[in-house]
């Protein structure tokens, strides 16, 4: 495995580690961004207004129950109908990544905002905050750790799904796993395992740090006194 | 120091009702049991008006209708004569201080940021916000150097409440709404916060609507007290003295408690009542003359004083020898010493403790100014209210407006 | 687009794969539960072990499942262990944290009362702590079961004898036969959702006092990464 990882030949060309890594990181990042762009506003809005909360939470729970593989499988026949080539190789995994990233982001955004003490929100309103100011200055900052937790979950999910995509003709680091097994090449297989695991752990750890950084020191000391923790 | 003295406004509830629930509100049935029903109340500027009553009687609802966190179903609320409903709502709220029991301090902001909240909303310049916030922290007894950079979670309950008060005062609002502001702290801290707040109010003279369910707090804090009963109806509105001396109904009488006589005593001070003149004899004075004076008075004692008129002890009138002079050696131990500031309740309590019927009132310099007896205090309670001169009489303090 | 005839011809296989799917998942959750319960007991007596246990389980959870399956193939071959080890591994973080949270959730005054009435440590645990922690434990089982049902599909990479309904997804994909893909995908989604719904029912029955929404929304801890993910 170490030999394989250190072999310069594996660090160049269109099948090289840098290209695969960028592929996987880039596509994962884009999927996350798209999912966040959809899920964050909805989750925050539901948390603030309390409207449609049951519906959203149930939908998100169903979303979280969908197996990644099943998501890819269901999407494949549909996208194939539009684009026989990419629609069977790239889009199923890409769409699955986006779709599967939405529920954790949405649920945490909702729970984080809804979990902010209502007394606090009313105190802010009573002092003359506009609704947007309540959201932007009170609810979202206090909910940030929970919101970041959702992004963190989604990231783990997205990277795992991208890896799985290799089975369906999707690029990325998962290819080393698939090819390693197919070619009985343990060096490539374990090199791939190492890279995939390292990427997932680094991304997860990065989000954990981000989560800490986004937590106001006042909240850190307060523990759960602000009522941020969902039940 | 610009503490905003004299900025106060009148608050008037004009036939205000609140019915919760969309159906009831739409139907508008007169018989619908609302949280607040046809509330009319006029609160003069610069006074503390306490809304007190059992839980669920509509105090919080009434309070929140002032800053329109709750909109009345019908009726108007006038602030300095202007209908609150006609004002832009955030603008209205920024001009009204709001303090709640749970403090509502923002946990993710430092104390100084919390206090500067409303000035920031109003767009003040940063240095001015900082200066004002620190000034206010000092005003509520928190050293800015020590507290400004802390977070609410690092403060005790009492300290948090002070910050809550400071935050509400930040933009110098003419009106303050306080919903059980001292309800979440222990009795000793509560007492101190109450005292400090009363002292602050002496200086600020804001119009304050203060909600509590504790009748003792109401009596202590209120210039005026509105006793609520179920459905936001005012069972009685008056000074604490009026409330205690003449409860308007059985409900009020029961609510203020069987000990309302004693509570009244805590509202009045020695200076409010007429003292009995003390028959005194100075050390070194001829005894015969003193004896004659003492015997002429119904009280069987002569009060022995020193050259500065300070009390030394009692002499029983019949036991004073006719010849010689008065000496300290003859004196028997004294009754408690009372000051004009002592409440009647404390005075009575001190007299009962000392097992005597007479207390000696002395001025700042310790000179005797008169006597209080248990009968005098009893007589005070029997007097009609109008004659009682309590600190809370509405006409006593000049309204703040010119 | 869908070849109903094919489905009709393969009803027996579909049923067989569904049973296999449930078996693989049930074994993993049962084993995972046994291990997690043991670990939670360790944490009960040695609190200092918790960050380590929970952290390690979290790390394992973060590793993409395909990598774990692929790596195991070259170690344990194409055996049942190759399928079950990863499945069990992914239940640990959810179960350990939920069981510990369940134990922790027993209020101190209740524990004091039990001590005051003379319960021994063991009795107290069996009669007070355990019954009171059941709702959170069941919540953990729910998340773990749903997640495992998703992961079982991926064990299809190990060959024909594994994968449950995931088998159809793979085979269908390689044959470019949408009907077969959907024959694997749709029932596996239905299975996951059905298990979720059943557990929600159980949870609600166990905690009739909980408000409706709290019972459905289970994000027990903000630090748990990706709870309730279907894996992948
Ligand atoms: N948002 C609300 N919706 C419906 N009913 C309410 C609401 N808020 C208060 N109430 C009801 O109105 C009544 C008065 O409540 P409140 O003003 O909070 O009383 P208080 O502050 O005197 O305890 C109570 O019966 C309460 O149950
Ligand atoms: Mg109230």
Q: Mind listing the pLDDT tens digit for each residue in B316-347?
A: 888 887 788 888 887 887 778 888 888 888 88
> Do C and A make contact, counting contact as 3+ CB pairs within 8 angstroms?
yes
Neighbours of chain B (3+ CB pairs under 8 A): A
DSSP state of C125: I
- Rounded Cα distance between C64 and A193, Å, is 9
A80/C219 Cβ within 8 A: no
Same domain? B95 vs B193 = yes
Looking at residue C94, what is its pLDDT? 94
Report whether C151 contacts C116 (CB < 8 A).
no
In Å, how far is C58's CA from the nearest CA of chain A?
A: 10
Structural tokens at position A79: 């996208």
Q: Give the C-alpha distances (Å, rounded to integers) separating A58 from A61, B279, B371.
A: 5, 87, 78
Interface test with A, best of B67, B87, B103, B108 (most A CBs within 10 A): B108
Of residues A136, A194, A209, the one with CA closest to residue A1: A194
Report whether pLDDT(B395) > 50: no
The region of weakest confidence among A120-129, A217-226, C88-97, C188-197 is A217-226
Distance in angstroms between the alpha carbons of the first and the last residue of chain A: 45
B56 CB within 6 A, ligand 1: yes
Its ipTM equals 0.86
Summarize the confidence of residues A53-63 as an average pLDDT. 85
Name the domain boundary from B261, B284, B299: B261
Say which CATH number the domain at B334 has.
3.10.580.10
pTM of structure: 0.80
A128/B91 Cβ within 8 A: yes
- Rounded Cα distance between C86 and C116, Å, is 45
Same domain? B356 vs B240 = no
The verdict on B44 touching A (C-beta cutoff 8 Å) is no
- Rounded Cα distance between A204 and C80, Å, is 30
Same domain? B328 vs B243 = no
The verdict on A190 touching C (C-beta cutoff 8 Å) is yes
Same domain? B114 vs B54 = yes
Q: Considering the domain boundaries, does residue B4 fall inside one?
A: no
Predicted confidence band of residue A227 (pLDDT cuts 50, 70, 90):
very low
pLDDT above 90 covers a percentage of chain C that reads 60
In Å, how far is A41's CA from the nearest CA of chain C?
A: 19
Q: Considering the domain boundaries, does residue B388 fall inside one?
A: no
Domains of chain A (ranges; CATH) run 2-226 (1.10.3720.10)
Structural tokens at position B98: 């709001």
Name the domain boundary from B230, B261, B292: B261
Looking at residue B6, what is its pLDDT? 55
CA of B62 to the centre of ligand 2 (A): 9
Q: Considering the domain boundaries, does residue B391 fall inside one?
A: no
Structural tokens at position C144: 């773990």
B103 CB within 6 A, ligand 1: no
- Rounded Cα distance between B378 and C115, Å, is 55
Same domain? B32 vs B87 = yes
In Å, how far is A29's CA from the nearest CA of chain B?
A: 29
pLDDT above 70 covers a percentage of chain B that reads 91
Looking at residue B385, what is its pLDDT? 58
Q: Considering the domain boundaries, does residue B180 fall inside one?
A: yes
Report whether B33 contacts B231 (CB < 8 A).
yes
Report whether pLDDT(B400) > 70: no
- Rounded Cα distance between B64 and B92, Å, is 12
Torsion, Cα of B40, B45, B46, B47 (10° steps): -20
Neighbours of chain C (3+ CB pairs under 8 A): A
> Do B and A make contact, counting contact as 3+ CB pairs within 8 angstroms?
yes
- Rounded Cα distance between C220 and A229, Å, is 8
Structural tokens at position B251: 């409900």
Predicted confidence band of residue C211 (pLDDT cuts 50, 70, 90):
low
Predicted confidence band of residue C165 (pLDDT cuts 50, 70, 90):
very high
Domains of chain C (ranges; CATH) run 18-221 (1.10.3720.10)
pLDDT tens for each residue of B22-46: 655 455 444 457 899 999 999 999 9
Report whether pLDDT(A65) > 90: no
Report whether pLDDT(B212) > 90: yes
The verdict on B294 touching A (C-beta cutoff 8 Å) is no
Report whether A127 contacts B98 (CB < 8 A).
yes
Structural tokens at position C105: 């959730």
Summarize the confidence of residues A119-134 as an average pLDDT. 94
Report whether B145 contacts B128 (CB < 8 A).
no
Report whether pLDDT(B241) > 50: yes
DSSP state of C127: I
Element (H, E) at C229: none
CA A163, A165, A167: angle at the middle one, nearest 5?
A: 105
The shortest CB-CB distance from A164 to any of C66, C185, C223 is to: C66
Q: Considering the domain boundaries, does residue B386 fall inside one?
A: no
pLDDT tens for each residue of B84-95: 999 999 999 999
Same domain? B373 vs B246 = no
Beta strand segments in B6-163, E: 11-18, 36-43, 48-52, 74-79, 82-83, 96-100
Report whether pLDDT(C212) > 80: no
Same domain? B341 vs B192 = no
Say which CATH number the domain at B152 has.
3.40.50.300
Same domain? B187 vs B40 = yes
The shortest CB-CB distance from A120 to any of B96, B104, B153 is to: B104
Buried/exposed code over C203-215 (b: 16+ C-beta within 10 A; e: otherwise): beeebeeeeeeeb
In Å, how far is A223's CA from the nearest CA of chain C?
A: 12
CA of B57 to the centre of ligand 2 (A): 8
Q: Give the C-alpha distances (Å, rounded to integers) separating B127 from B1, B2, B131.
A: 16, 16, 6
Report whether pLDDT(B224) > 90: yes
Neighbours of chain A (3+ CB pairs under 8 A): B, C
Same domain? B320 vs B253 = no
DSSP state of B276: B
Strand partners, B49: B209, B224
Report whether pLDDT(B97) > 70: yes
Q: Considering the domain boundaries, does residue B390 fall inside one?
A: no
Looking at residue C210, what is its pLDDT? 64
Summarize the confidence of residues C78-102 as an average pLDDT. 94
Looking at residue C14, what is its pLDDT? 94
Looking at residue B184, what is its pLDDT? 85
Q: Give the C-alpha distances (Å, rounded to integers) separating C130 from C49, C101, C200.
A: 20, 12, 20
Strand partners, B16: B39
Buried/exposed code over A63-82 (b: 16+ C-beta within 10 A; e: otherwise): bbbbbbbbbbbbbbbebbee
Structural tokens at position A125: 């309103």
Q: Which domain holds residue B332?
A: 272-381
State residue B37 phi and psi, 5-degree precision.
-125, 115
Buried/exposed code over C97-133 (b: 16+ C-beta within 10 A; e: otherwise): bbbbbbbeebeeeeeeebeeeebeeeebbeebbeebb
Output the DSSP codes for A128-167: T--HHHIIIIIIHHHHHHHHHHHHHHHHHHHHHHHHHGGG
Report whether pLDDT(C159) > 90: no
Q: Is B364 exposed, middle or buried (0-12, 13-18, 19+ CB in 10 A)?
A: exposed
Report whether B33 contacts B92 (CB < 8 A).
no
Same domain? B143 vs B172 = yes
- Rounded Cα distance between B1 and B6, Å, is 13
For ligand 1, atom 8: residue with the closest CA: B61
- Rounded Cα distance between C13 and C36, Å, is 34
Report whether pLDDT(C76) > 90: no
Ramachandran quadrant class, B93 (left: phi over 0; alpha: psi -120 to 50; beta: rest): alpha
Report whether A158 contacts A170 (CB < 8 A).
no
- The A residues from 25 to 54 touching C (CB cutoff 8 Å) are 53-54
Predicted confidence band of residue A61 (pLDDT cuts 50, 70, 90):
confident
Q: Which atom of ligand 1 is nearest to the CA of B62?
A: 17
A190/C71 Cβ within 8 A: yes
Report whether pLDDT(C220) > 50: no
Same domain? B253 vs B285 = no
Same domain? B92 vs B202 = yes
Overall domain count for chain B:
2
Query: Could you tell me how many residues make up chain B?
Result: 402
Looking at residue A11, what is its pLDDT? 83
Of residues A155, A98, A27, A62, the one with CA closest to residue C150: A62
Q: Is B280 exposed, middle or buried (0-12, 13-18, 19+ CB in 10 A)?
A: middle
pLDDT tens for each residue of A199-225: 999 999 999 999 899 888 888 754 433
Predicted confidence band of residue C230 (pLDDT cuts 50, 70, 90):
very low
What chain B residue is nearest to A220 in terms of C-alpha separation? B108
Q: Considering the domain boundaries, does residue B305 fall inside one?
A: yes
Q: Considering the domain boundaries, does residue B318 fall inside one?
A: yes
């Amino acid at each position: 495995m170490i030999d394989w990882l250190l072999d310069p030949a594996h660090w160049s060309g269109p099948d090289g580690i840098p290209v695969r890594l960028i592929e996987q990181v880039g596509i994962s990042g884009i999927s996350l961004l798209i999912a966040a762009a959809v899920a964050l506003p909805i989750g925050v809005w539901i948390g603030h207004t309390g409207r449609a909360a049951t519906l959203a939470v149930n939908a998100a729970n169903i979303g979280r129950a969908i197996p990644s593989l099943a998501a890819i499988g269901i999407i494949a026949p549909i996208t194939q109908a539009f684009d026989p080539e990419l629609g069977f190789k790239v889009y199923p995994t890409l769409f699955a990544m986006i779709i599967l990233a939405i529920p954790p982001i949405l649920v945490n955004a909702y729970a984080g905002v809804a979990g902010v003490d209502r007394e606090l929100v009313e105190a802010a309103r009573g002092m003359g905050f506009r609704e947007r100011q309540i959201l932007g200055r009170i609810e979202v900052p206090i909910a940030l750790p929970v919101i970041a937790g959702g992004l963190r979950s989604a990231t783990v999910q997205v990277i795992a799904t991208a890896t799985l995509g290799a089975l369906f003709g999707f690029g990325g680091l998962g290819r080393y796993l698939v090819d390693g097994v197919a070619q009985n090449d343990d060096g490539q297989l374990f090199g791939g395992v190492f890279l995939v695991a390292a990427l997932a752990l680094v991304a997860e750890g990065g989000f954990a740090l981000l989560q800490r950084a986004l937590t106001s020191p006042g909240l850190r000391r307060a523990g759960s006194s602000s009522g941020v923790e969902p039940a | 120091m610009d503490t905003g003295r004299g900025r106060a406004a009148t608050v008037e509830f004009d036939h205000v009702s609140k019915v919760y629930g969309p159906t009831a509100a739409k139907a508008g049935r007169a018989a619908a049991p609302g949280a607040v029903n046809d509330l009319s109340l006029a609160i003069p500027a610069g006074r503390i008006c306490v809304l007190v009553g059992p839980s669920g009687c509509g105090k919080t609802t009434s309070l929140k209708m002032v800053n329109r966190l709750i909109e009345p179903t019908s009726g108007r609320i006038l602030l300095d004569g202007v209908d609150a409903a006609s004002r832009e709502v955030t603008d209205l709220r920024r001009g009204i201080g709001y303090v709640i029991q749970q403090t509502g301090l923002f946990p993710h902001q430092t104390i100084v940021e919390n206090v500067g909240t409303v000035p920031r909303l109003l767009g003040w310049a940063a240095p001015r916000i900082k200066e004002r916030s620190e000034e206010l922290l000092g005003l509520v007894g928190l050293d800015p150097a020590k507290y400004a950079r802390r977070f609410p979670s690092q403060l005790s309950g009492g300290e948090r409440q002070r910050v809550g008060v400071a935050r509400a005062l930040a933009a110098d609002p003419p009106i303050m709404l306080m919903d059980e502001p001292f309800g979440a702290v222990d009795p000793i801290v509560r007492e101190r916060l109450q005292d400090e707040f009363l002292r602050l109010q002496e200086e600020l003279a804001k119009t304050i609507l203060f909600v509590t369910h504790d009748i003792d707090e109401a009596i202590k804090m209120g210039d005026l007290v509105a006793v609520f009963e179920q459905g936001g109806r005012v069972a009685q509105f008056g000074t604490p003295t009026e409330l205690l001396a003449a409860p308007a109904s059985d409900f009020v009488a029961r609510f203020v408690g069987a000990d309302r006589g004693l509570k009244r005593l805590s509202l009045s001070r020695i200076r409010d009542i007429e003292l009995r003149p003390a028959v005194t004899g100075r050390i070194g004075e001829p005894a015969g003359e003193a004896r004659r004076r003492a015997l002429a008075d119904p009280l069987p004692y002569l009060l022995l004083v020193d050259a500065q008129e300070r009390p030394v002890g009692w002499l029983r009138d019949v036991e004073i020898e006719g010849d010689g002079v008065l000496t300290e050696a003859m004196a028997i131990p004294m009754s408690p010493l009372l000051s004009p500031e002592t409440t009647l309740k404390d005075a009575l309590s001190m007299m009962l403790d000392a097992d005597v019927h007479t207390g000696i009132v002395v001025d700042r310099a310790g000179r005797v100014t008169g006597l209080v007896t248990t009968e005098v205090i009893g007589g005070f309670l029997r007097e009609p209210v109008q004659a009682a001169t309590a600190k809370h009489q509405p006409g006593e303090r000049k309204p703040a407006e010119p | 687009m869908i070849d109903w005839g094919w489905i009709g011809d393969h009803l027996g296989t579909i049923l067989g794969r569904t049973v296999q799917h449930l078996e693989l998942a049930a074994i993993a959750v049962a084993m995972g539960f046994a291990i997690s319960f043991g670990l939670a007991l360790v944490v009960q007596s040695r609190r200092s072990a918790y960050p380590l246990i929970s952290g390690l389980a979290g790390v394992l959870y973060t590793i993409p499942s395909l990598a774990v399956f692929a790596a195991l193939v070259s170690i344990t071959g194409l055996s049942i262990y190759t399928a079950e080890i990863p499945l069990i591994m992914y239940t640990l973080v959810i179960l350990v944290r939920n069981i510990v949270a369940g134990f922790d959730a027993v209020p101190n005054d209740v524990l004091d009362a039990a001590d005051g009435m003379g319960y021994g440590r063991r009795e107290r645990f069996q009669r007070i702590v355990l019954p009171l922690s059941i709702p959170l434990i069941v919540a953990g089982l729910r998340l773990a079961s749903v997640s495992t049902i998703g992961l079982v599909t991926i064990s299809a990479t190990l060959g024909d004898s594994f994968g449950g309904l995931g088998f159809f997804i793979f085979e269908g994909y390689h044959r470019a036969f949408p009907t077969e893909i959907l024959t694997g995908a749709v029932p596996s989604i239905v299975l996951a959702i059905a298990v979720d719904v059943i557990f929600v029912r159980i949870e609600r029955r166990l905690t009739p006092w909980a408000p409706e929404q709290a019972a459905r929304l289970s994000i027990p801890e903000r630090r748990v990464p990706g709870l309730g993910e279907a894996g992948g």
